[in-house]
């Protein structure tokens, strides 16, 4: 526990705090928002000057967030995992697999990741004897095994996907896609992946390339643009997109 010391806060800092507060509410849910809001209220107590109160209200009404769909998680499970990582203590979890099975696992939590609306923990599984991802929204219950400690490795031997890449993957694909003018303006002004490179064409189309671990996410990304995205390479991705497109047509026949 820490004591907050009163200090001077500039208007710009107030704006940043209120933006983050609204982002937390919309992106992470009410449980996180209530905790963050209590911090804000300590920094800016309710008896501050009326003009400042009006300024804050105007700031709050100036921003709106439209978050992507997110997985619902229990805050107690997340904070127990944070404790386990900090104190390097093993945890016993009841976990719901992708097949709907309820599994018991003892894990060594290493790192928590938030990606595309979902929370994940990288952990060593004592049963499987390997390091893997566990979706925190699939953890039914958790127990901190105090006094049962582990030694966190200096380097986690697992590849973490970034941006539109899948969370994990063991491949190495150079993906090249042509985006036609109808969608090029939308694509060129967004950060999709740390490896992205964009070449501008005279007709206002673009060539965008990525270095990715897997092809699953990029396949869905390409399909989301319909006829305005054309895969140039690799051949495996072209085949995946064609197969899904043909299956979509079959669904409407």
Helix, strand, or coil here: 194?
Answer: coil
Distance in angstroms (rounded) separating the CA atoms of residues 136 and 96: 10
Helix, strand, or coil here: 185?
Answer: helix
Supply the pLDDT for residue 46.
58
Supply the pLDDT for residue 50.
60
Supply the pLDDT for residue 97.
87
Supply the pLDDT for residue 94.
96
Regions in the chain scoring below 70 on pLDDT: 1-2, 4-7, 45-53, 159, 168-169
The residue with tokens 């978050």 is 67
Summarize pLDDT for 70-90 with one digit per residue, the tens: 788 888 999 999 999 999 999
Distance in angstroms (rounded) separating the CA atoms of residues 121 and 163: 17
Global pTM?
A: 0.72
Supply the pLDDT for residue 64.
77
Supply the pLDDT for residue 47.
57
Supply the pLDDT for residue 236.
96
Supply the pLDDT for residue 48.
60
Summarize pLDDT for 185-208 with one digit per residue, the tens: 999 999 999 899 999 999 999 999
How many C-alpha atoms does 156 have within 13 Å on its Cβ side? 17
Is the CA virtual torsion 74, 80, 81, 82 positive or negative? positive
Supply the pLDDT for residue 9.
76
């Amino acid at each position: 526990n820490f004591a907050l010391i009163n200090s001077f806060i500039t208007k710009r800092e107030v704006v940043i705090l209120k933006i983050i507060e609204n982002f937390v509410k919309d992106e992470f849910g009410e449980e996180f928002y209530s905790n963050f809001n209590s911090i804000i209220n300590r920094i800016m107590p309710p008896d501050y000057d009326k003009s400042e109160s009006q300024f804050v209200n105007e700031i709050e009404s100036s921003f709106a967030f439209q978050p992507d769909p997110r997985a619902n998680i229990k805050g107690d499970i997340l904070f127990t995992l944070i404790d386990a990582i900090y104190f390097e203590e093993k945890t016993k979890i009841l976990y719901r697999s992708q097949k709907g099975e309820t599994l018991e696992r003892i894990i060594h939590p290493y790192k928590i990741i938030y990606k595309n609306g979902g929370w994940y923990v990288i952990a060593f599984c004592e049963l499987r004897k390997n390091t893997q991802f566990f979706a925190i929204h699939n953890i039914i219950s958790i127990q901190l095994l105090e006094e049962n400690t582990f030694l966190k490795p200096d380097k986690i031997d697992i590849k973490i996907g970034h941006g539109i890449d899948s969370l994990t993957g063991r491949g190495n694909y150079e993906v090249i896609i042509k985006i036609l003018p109808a969608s090029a303006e939308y694509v060129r002004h967004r950060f999709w992946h740390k490896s992205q490179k964009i070449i501008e064409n005279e007709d206002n189309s673009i060539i965008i390339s990525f270095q990715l671990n897997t092809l699953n996410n990029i396949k869905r990304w390409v399909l989301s643009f319909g006829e305005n995205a054309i895969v140039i390479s690799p051949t495996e991705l072209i085949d995946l997109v064609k197969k899904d497109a043909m299956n979509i047509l079959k669904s409407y026949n």
